[in-house]
A = this chain, B = another copy of it.
């Protein structure tokens, strides 16, 4: 099949924040609660918003102000929501990272997130406290451009996630136990919150294959959403992955995909048969429908990057005049081999900024080299960055810094900008032990920072895992990927400084390094962490404080800081 998706660029030069006079205000009232649900045709418990799983889609226009009153209707648990991909320029307290930018909202309380969605993009939102993302607290966040440069006839959202039958409470405990109990691979993959456990939509094509054919009752919560399309049209698929663990590959049978957006930034379009998508990433792809088919085609989502033990998630692309009773006539696309990392890297390296994006600064003012290791603390399994496993304190960093607590200065003793020169990343650590710490990296405003993520061998065996790293408060340029150990002074020369893509999430491949650059132009405290939920739970993160002087002058709502030391300080100042 020849590929002929055309992209019409409406504007080719300016990609800036749009604050038009006509900017609107979107006001939402959300209640977060647990609900019984059947995400994969087996009953479980999800975190629902206003009774819905996944949560409602936010559909905004660049420049809009979004005001979301989030009420915690849980019995005993706190909650926060992070607006993944929104940079929160000037509103770091609305970033929704518990312990970093705010206190968790306690049961019965309401916290108001009030922020501007400054530029168009495909985003999502999710819980950022404990493992509440994995419990199902997520939804899509679409920011449209009032002058969209892409042309298409229709669009669909595909929010991808993974699902366990064990509760996240149990998972959290298992991961924290000594010895650690690994949560294993997910029971199901979900597309828009719908998956099928222990059966396949496509089993009828593979009779005797041993997998049961899925059947559904009307209104089953696990019945797939079919994408109904017309012939000879262009559709935008907005795809986001909020998986707790799984790296995914998505394909549409018989159709190619033109990748046009990544993490809310336009990219130079390129065409592929399938896309890899890591947790925390979003893509827009354009799909041109065939001229005159009366058929159904599979959309398949499978696991890559880890040895899979989870059935492909499937749904159907359905041309309008196809009878409902017929299924696709061919088997679903086969997910590429999970450990074909060359293929994965090749996909990552296809990304370049779209025309019109200015190049990154040519030089950096500061450089961090962050070693990713799996370690032990008192026989608890942990992940560490430069030999420190992050322990987020009870008082949000943003508050400690705002009020200049002594502890804040302690916190600003970072784990170190690099690691020991002779560390052998190809072998298990010589000393498997590490320490817990709450230290953060502090940068002045207005400088250029390079971060090199350095992968390494895990505790045992000859294994190195994929880690998709996500930075809050920023897009960053992905300057390059490399094999083995980063060589300072040498590998910088391989950086793409011409047209690197802007992203907020990037993969670190096994035994390799990934380099990224950002400008500290957004005063605040920003979480930077592996987006794999259990890895973050086990300490795989860092925190960047940016423009501390500016933070100290910020008018942060008290409601964001009603816990820990900030609460004590704020409550006691009236007594002086």
A129 is an interface residue with CB less than 8 A from chain B: yes
Query: What is the bound-complex CA distance between A79 and B75, given in angstroms?
Result: 11
* Residue interface bits A546-576, CB-to-B below 8 A is 1, else 0: 0000000000001100111001101111101
In chain A, positions 114-170 with a C-beta closer than 8 Å to chain B are 129-132, 167, 169-170
The residue from B79, B170, B564 contacting A109, defined by CB atoms under 8 A apart: B564
CB pair A567–B564 under 8 Å, yes or no, is no
A311 is an interface residue with CB less than 8 A from chain B: no
CB pair B34–A169 under 8 Å, yes or no, is yes
The residue from B77, B109, B172, B564 contacting A563, defined by CB atoms under 8 A apart: B109
How close is A60's CB to chain B, nearest CB, in angstroms?
29
User: What are 7 A-B pairs at a CB distance below 8 A?
Assistant: A36-B173, A45-B173, A75-B169, A76-B79, A167-B167, A558-B568, A559-B568
CB pair A394–B104 under 8 Å, yes or no, is no
Query: What is the bound-complex CA distance between A60 and B394, given in angstroms?
Result: 32
The residue from B109, B131, B573 contacting A574, defined by CB atoms under 8 A apart: B573
Query: What is the bound-complex CA distance between A78 and B176, given in angstroms?
Result: 18
A107 is an interface residue with CB less than 8 A from chain B: yes
A104 contacts which chain B residues (CB < 8 A)? 76, 106-107
A393 is an interface residue with CB less than 8 A from chain B: yes
* Beta-carbon nearest neighbor of A34 in chain B: B173
CB pair B562–A567 under 8 Å, yes or no, is yes
A393 contacts which chain B residues (CB < 8 A)? 108
Query: What is the bound-complex CA distance between A574 and B572, given in angstroms?
Result: 8
A177 is an interface residue with CB less than 8 A from chain B: yes
The residue from B99, B394, B558 contacting A572, defined by CB atoms under 8 A apart: B558
A103 is an interface residue with CB less than 8 A from chain B: yes
A76 contacts which chain B residues (CB < 8 A)? 77-79, 104, 129-130, 132
A132 contacts which chain B residues (CB < 8 A)? 76
Number of interface residues of A (CB under 8 A): 43
CB pair B103–A78 under 8 Å, yes or no, is no
A562 contacts which chain B residues (CB < 8 A)? 562-563, 567-568, 571
CB pair B394–A107 under 8 Å, yes or no, is yes
* Beta-carbon nearest neighbor of A565 in chain B: B109
* Beta-carbon nearest neighbor of A110 in chain B: B394
How close is A157's CB to chain B, nearest CB, in angstroms?
28
* Beta-carbon nearest neighbor of A559 in chain B: B568
Partner-B contacts on A (CB < 8 A): 34-36, 45, 75-79, 99, 103-104, 106-109, 129-132, 167, 169-170, 172-174, 176-177, 393-394, 558-559, 562-564, 567-568, 570-574, 576
Number of copies: 2
CB pair A169–B130 under 8 Å, yes or no, is no
A107 contacts which chain B residues (CB < 8 A)? 78, 104, 394
* Beta-carbon nearest neighbor of A130 in chain B: B76
The residue from B103, B173, B176, B571 contacting A106, defined by CB atoms under 8 A apart: B103
* Beta-carbon nearest neighbor of A73 in chain B: B176
Query: What is the bound-complex CA distance between A572 and B107, given in angstroms?
Result: 21
A173 contacts which chain B residues (CB < 8 A)? 34-36, 45
CB pair A108–B394 under 8 Å, yes or no, is yes
User: Given A34-B173, A129-B76, are A571 and B564 also a contact pair (CB < 8 Å)?
Assistant: no
A45 contacts which chain B residues (CB < 8 A)? 169-170, 173
The residue from B108, B129, B572, B573 contacting A564, defined by CB atoms under 8 A apart: B108
Query: What is the bound-complex CA distance between A45 and B574, given in angstroms?
Result: 43
Query: What is the bound-complex CA distance between A79 and B572, given in angstroms?
Result: 23
Give 13 A-B pairs besides A99-B108, A562-B571 with Cβ atoms closer than 8 angstroms. Answer: A35-B173, A36-B173, A45-B173, A76-B77, A76-B129, A77-B77, A106-B563, A108-B564, A562-B563, A562-B568, A570-B570, A570-B571, A571-B571
A174 contacts which chain B residues (CB < 8 A)? 36
* Beta-carbon nearest neighbor of A127 in chain B: B76
How close is A566's CB to chain B, nearest CB, in angstroms?
9
Query: What is the bound-complex CA distance between A393 and B567, given in angstroms?
Result: 20
CB pair B106–A394 under 8 Å, yes or no, is yes
CB pair A130–B574 under 8 Å, yes or no, is no
